[in-house]
Amino acid sequence: MEAKTQFKFNPFFVILLSLLTFFFLYKSFANLPQPLVSWASFFICLPSLLIAYFILPMTFKMIFNIPSIILTDDCLNSNIGGYSIEWTDIASIELYNGGYRSFAKLAINLKDPDKYFNTPLKKFLYKTKQLVVVNDKSIFLDFVSGQNEEIFALIKAYWTKEVED
């Protein structure tokens, strides 16, 4: 039997992101001027729809009680970002505690990033992100229910167990 640990989403963010999503969807359609099909309507709705587009998938995962992080013997599954990383492909894992103004995040560096960024669009976004951030993947731990240090210790224990085997 495969060992499996799951972390749920933080209930505070379930409520906050759900309300934000519905607010942005409401704002994108409530202030539409007449006629509906025009460039002015498009530009009024675009920012709200983009924000809702990025928040909505995570909101549905939170509402339907899908775990935010799943740790198995083989890999780390992040439902926040929608990806899965094998333990053997991870070069390093670090916890960066957010200060007063930022979220705490788990920074993951990969041994072979080309394995996970294999399409032209993913490669372009990865190279662009590397200009600003040094890590390959990151998980915001404040969206996960529990203490950040405990979550990091458990993830690191899974990773070191796999590296030692």
Question: Which domains, from first to last, does the chain contain?
Answer: 9-65 (no CATH), 69-164 (2.30.29)
Over 90: is that where the pLDDT of 15 sits?
no
> Which residues in the chain belong to E strands, given as ranges?
4-7, 69-72, 75-78, 83-86, 90-96, 105-110, 137-140
Please name which of 143, 89, 78 lies closest in space to residue 112, comparing C-alpha atoms.
89
pLDDT of amino acid 86 = 92
Query: Hey, what amino acid is at 88?
Result: T
pLDDT in tens, 28-80: 777 666 666 778 777 877 887 787 787 778 888 888 889 999 999 889 999 88
Sign of CA dihedral 111, 115, 117, 120: positive
- What is d(CA 21, CA 49) in angstroms, rounded to the nearest whole number? 9
DSSP letter at 9? B
Helix, strand, coil % over all residues of the chain, rounded to 5: 50, 20, 30
pLDDT of amino acid 1 = 39
Over 60: is that where the pLDDT of 135 sits?
yes
- What is d(CA 99, CA 21) in angstroms, rounded to the nearest whole number? 26
How confident is the prediction for the chain on average, in pLDDT?
84
| pLDDT more than 90, % of the chain | 23
Query: What's the whole-model pTM score?
Result: 0.79
Over 80: is that where the pLDDT of 87 sits?
yes
Over 90: is that where the pLDDT of 93 sits?
yes
